[in-house]
Amino acid sequence: MARVLRMPGVAANATEAVLSEWLVDESADFAAADAIATVETEKAAVDVEADAAGRVLKTLVPPGAQVDVGDPIAVLGEPGEQVDDLDALLASLGVTTATEVVVPERREVPEPSAPAESADRRVFASPLARKLAKDRGLTIEEISGTGPRGRILRRDVDAAVAPVVEEVVLRPYRNHRDPQPAYDEIPHSRIRLATARRLTESTQTAPHFYVRATVRVEALLALRAEINDDAATRVSVNDLVVKAVAGAHQRVPELNVTWTPDAVRRYAAVDVAVAVATDRGLMTPVVRDVGSLSVTAVAASVRDLAERARDGKLKQDELEGGSISVTNLGMYGVEEFAAIINPPQAAILAVGAVRDEPVVEDGRVVPGKVMSVTLSVDHRPVDGVLAARWLGILVDLLEHPARVLA
């Protein structure tokens, strides 16, 4: 029996998404759990999987089309099913095939003395290709399309910019009387726009407060060296911090929460997001159930997520969830900073560089290695005393790191 496949809600609060690619051709069969199509959100690609075996009888939208959540995107049938009158089937299901997306050719504004040119030639391009071209400083007219009727697809934009990381436009001074200063104009990427929107929302809706501490890390560094002395996967200081954060959440479960309009949602497992800088902007993939993982497993997971974040290969569900993020600028020499909470999480831990400083030990000043940490907290689900207790436990775990492994 034929059935309609609709655009799923692949991201929280999303009302539309781009159908990036069909992975199963028309009249081809697929098995249960096979990926039928790839849908693209602002930050990731999501595979739409089949809930049962079947056949793609008809695709209703072309690759690159932007589709409202819930709208039909394909008609599916049983494995091997044949349809004699496809038009009648579509009519009976109340669906139609989407029309081609057409983008008029952009024209330069003529000089006042020049006659205006007519624009009778059209350029065919998917909405996704148009957005990618704009992000990378290209015009559609610069790109050769390889799709049907010369349609410009994502792969064409990627090929056009393959030798270039990013296109910038420099406006130089023409002379000393030029009132317009020189500047570089770098178009916003979709990831940077999404990050800006979410962090603006966070500062406007989540009342932030901050608690800070300085950690002695000699024992932490010694443990890291011992682990790395005989391990296939090398462990970083940040991996140990992520593991310690999970330990603090397990000991203070009141912080393993998110705020919703109706309730404070407390989680059984501890999922920790890790901030990763990419060429396209900041991403925060989530390491699942950190409390159940070994330190080396945490390190392997963080490395895998970070590499795929930089390659643009993360899936949407790997960017969702978690009650806390860890962001570390220590490798850049930053000693201390405060971060903005990644909504709807309740907190974010900012980690600074390990530095040599004199410390007091048993009444004597001795050389020490210290690290500053700052916890930004959403005051709606978490009170100050609770955050202070959590931070004290985190410091204790980092200064006695054997307890992190327990």
Token look-up 């603090």 returns: 248
Upstream peptide bond of 127 is cis (omega within 30 degrees of 0): no
Cα–Cα dist 239/113, whole Å:
65
- Could you read off the pLDDT of 370-406 as tens digits, one per residue? 999 999 999 999 999 999 999 999 999 999 999 998 7
Instruction: Give the CA distances from residue 182 to residues 165, 171, 394, in Å, rounded to whole numbers and listed in that order.
Output: 22, 5, 48
CATH topology of domain 3-93: OB fold (Dihydrolipoamide Acetyltransferase, E2P) (2.40.50)
Q: What is the pLDDT of residue 179?
A: 59
What confidence tier does 167 reach under pLDDT thresholds 50, 70, 90? very low
The residue among 376 and 232 whose pLDDT is bigger is 376
State yes or no: pLDDT of 280 exceeds 80.
no
Give me the mean pLDDT over the 255-279 stretch: 94
What confidence tier does 13 reach under pLDDT thresholds 50, 70, 90? low
CATH topology of domain 201-405: Chloramphenicol Acetyltransferase (3.30.559)
Contact 171/200 with Cβ under 8 angstroms?
no
Alpha helices (H) in 214-271, listed in sequence order: 218-228, 237-251
% residues pLDDT > 70 (the chain): 84
Give me the mean pLDDT over the 333-348 stretch: 94
What confidence tier does 114 reach under pLDDT thresholds 50, 70, 90? very low
Give me the mean pLDDT over the 134-141 stretch: 76
Cα–Cα dist 191/342, whole Å:
14
Domain definitions of the chain by residue range:
3-93, 102-170, 201-405
Contact 79/85 with Cβ under 8 angstroms?
no
Cα–Cα dist 16/66, whole Å:
7
Was domain 102-170 assigned CATH 3.40.50.1820? Answer: no
- The catalytic residues are 379
